[in-house]
Amino acid sequence: MASGTWAVREKLDRADSATRHALLAAARRVFETKGFALTTIADIAREAGVGRATFYVYFADKEEVFAHLARQVRDQLVEAQELSGLDPDDPWAVAAATTAAYLDAYAENLSFLTVLDHQAIADPAMAELREEIHELPTKRGGRYIRRLAERGLADPAADPEIVSLGGGGLVAVLAPVLARHPERREQLLADLTQMYLRLLGVPPKP
């Protein structure tokens, strides 16, 4: 009996997880299509193929769902700067890899970020999340640039955090271009990497 009960609980846990993921995916599609203000819980439940009561099992309101999605985007953009498998003292390799990952992640989340920008105007909680999404990658990049400068591997054009902020601004400008013209990805990445390296004050690769 105990074994059977555990098997049933395990099955329900998997089902619950699948339903929660379905609700999050549905919410994101609806938010990106209708915007935050016009999205209703009924819209999200309908898109996910569940009833409103099921929505409330997992989330208290649409604000909670939106905040969860915003944190997912924040984490994805921060993770795009991970140096896993890279030599941190090779600024050329790091710039190429992190620029590609960050630009791809930004372009992938562009629609959601646009909704968040609009919602942040009137919602302090969303404004704080929006700030985190931009501030965390900027600070992380600034720390890396400062480390390169201290080791004599870079001569940044300004304070490291400002240079990191400028690099993020370049990504924000080029992400819509990539979203509209994915066939231009390789050239956009090459140009963006070169601009970033110049901001870092890194000489041409030997």
Q: How far apart are CA 96 and CA 77, in angstroms?
A: 16
Backbone phi, psi, residue 187, to 5°: -70, -40
| Contacts for 150 with CB less than 8 Å, ≥ 6 apart | none
pTM for this prediction: 0.83
In residues, how long is the chain? Answer: 206
Per-residue model confidence as pLDDT tens digits over 72-94: 998 998 888 777 788 888 999 99
What tokens were used for 150? Answer: 């201290």
Provide the pLDDT for residue 14: 47
User: Nearest 5°: CA angle at 161, between 85 and 198?
Assistant: 70
Provide the pLDDT for residue 73: 92
Is residue 22 predicted with pLDDT exceeding 90?
yes
Amino acid at 122: A
What tokens were used for 105? Answer: 């992640």
Provide the pLDDT for residue 4: 52
Q: How far apart are CA 117 and CA 21, in angstroms?
A: 24
Least reliable range by pLDDT among 10-19, 73-82, 110-119, 174-183: 10-19
Per-residue model confidence as pLDDT tens digits over 107-122: 999 999 999 999 999 8
Domains of the chain plus CATH, in order, are 1-59 (1.10.10.60), 62-206 (1.10.357.10)
Q: How far apart are CA 165 and CA 163, in angstroms?
A: 5
**Structural contact between residues 30 and 44, judged by C-beta atoms closer than 8 angstroms:** yes
User: Nearest 5°: CA angle at 9, between 5 and 15?
Assistant: 145
